[in-house]
Amino acid sequence: MKAPVSEKKRHIINAAADLFQDRGYSATSMRALATKVGLEPSSIYSHINSKEDLLVEICMNCSELFTQGMQRILASEILADEKIKSLIRLHIQMAYQHPASVTVFNDEWTFLPDDTKIIFLSLRKNYENNFKRILIDGKTQDLFEFEDQDLVFSIIMNMLNWPYSATKKYKKSLVESELVTAILKILYKKPLIH
Amino acid sequence: MKAPVSEKKRHIINAAADLFQDRGYSATSMRALATKVGLEPSSIYSHINSKEDLLVEICMNCSELFTQGMQRILASEILADEKIKSLIRLHIQMAYQHPASVTVFNDEWTFLPDDTKIIFLSLRKNYENNFKRILIDGKTQDLFEFEDQDLVFSIIMNMLNWPYSATKKYKKSLVESELVTAILKILYKKPLIH
DNA sequence: CCTACCGATCGGTAGG
DNA sequence: CCTACCGATCGGTAGG
């Protein structure tokens, strides 16, 4: 389904992700992107169709990676707390492997063209529902306790949206272990030692 | 020090905060703002000097409110865990009382003009240092335990940056109590019951 | 507070 | 991949 992406196009998309992360989609000009990749502004259009296309590539690629990660975790036969740990690792892995893209994915998706935005939001909704389902499973399995599943989901999701600047400041392994500890402290029923 | 702000100017600033929150500073045009407040674009400049001025007013106002809140909490003679609770209440109070402005304050400050940005970042640095100091005090008072104070601060700060959309979805009192519980679970030394 | 308008910059195209 | 260029929109000003 996906068109193959040339090396040059990949390079342009990555440069765009860096700029979008730094200044936002709207404040980034195609001229600035051209300078960054060493081309004249018009030459970029030999590789992509529009500025929006760049955003679409960045956001949908992240969307797909998160969706694939979720599918893998859902398919594994482990208890809910281990699934949550895997989800934390997925988010931290994404944040550290694609720091610029993930930030754009989180902060700039509102600028997606309408048709893509509908797909994007539908994928996100699906992801959220799967996440919440795991939280509820953890309750059923007598591992977790919480009152409002939507609220506890929002709190955890907020913790997992690890900002670009923080990926530069802290080592991945440290962030991962601290977030696993913190989130499980929030979720676990009994006073720890698991 | 601060120039008095007329009612009309307040109205324009608030409208700008709504627009900046929704589409970002850069993607918001003065023409869109003019339409929102029912004026011709040029008429706005009878009340403000520039688009940047609007951002300055929004960000520095939030900055001041957070700084004042911090000063009040620092001056109170309570233990570190109660200070943290007060800080959580401060952030949630701000998020629910000025949802648009706080979002702009959090997300759009990079577009501040250089001279203001320097002041802004200095105030923020101060705030962060005070926050971390309270965390360390909690450790000294044998209330908290954590390894890396910068990292645990980042995690908590991330939890307190409550997004605009979430203020519309959950009741303030519910968010406040859940965040107090969650954050103290992360910080407290002994397995709860405090 | 409006009409009229300005220079700068934007995303993008034509043609080679 | 470049030169040359376009219409649209931007923040903001002049003058009343």
* Chain B interface mutation, best of A104, A154, A172, highest count of B Cβ atoms under 10 Å: A154
Q: How many CA atoms lie within 13 A of B79 on its CB side?
A: 10
Position A151 scores a pLDDT of: 98
Position A11 scores a pLDDT of: 98
Read off the tokens for A3. 């068109």
Residue among B151, B158, B170 whose CB faces A151 most closely = B170
What are the structural domains, with CATH classification, of chain A? 50-187 (1.10.357.10)
Whether the per-residue pLDDT at A133 is higher than 50: the answer is yes
Across the A:B interface, residue pairs with CB atoms under 8 Å apart total 74
Helices (H), chain B: 7-23, 30-37, 51-75, 80-97, 99-107, 114-140, 149-160, 164-169, 172-187
By C-alpha distance, which of B131, B175, B137, B138 is closest to B153?
A: B131
Average pLDDT of chain B to the nearest whole number: 95
Rounded to two decimals, the pTM is 0.95
Whether the per-residue pLDDT at B81 is higher than 90: the answer is yes
The answer to whether some atom of strand D lies closer than 7 Å to the beta carbon of B45 is yes
Tens of pLDDT, residues B138-153: 999 999 999 999 999 9
Which CA-bearing residue is nearest the C1' of C13?
Answer: A42
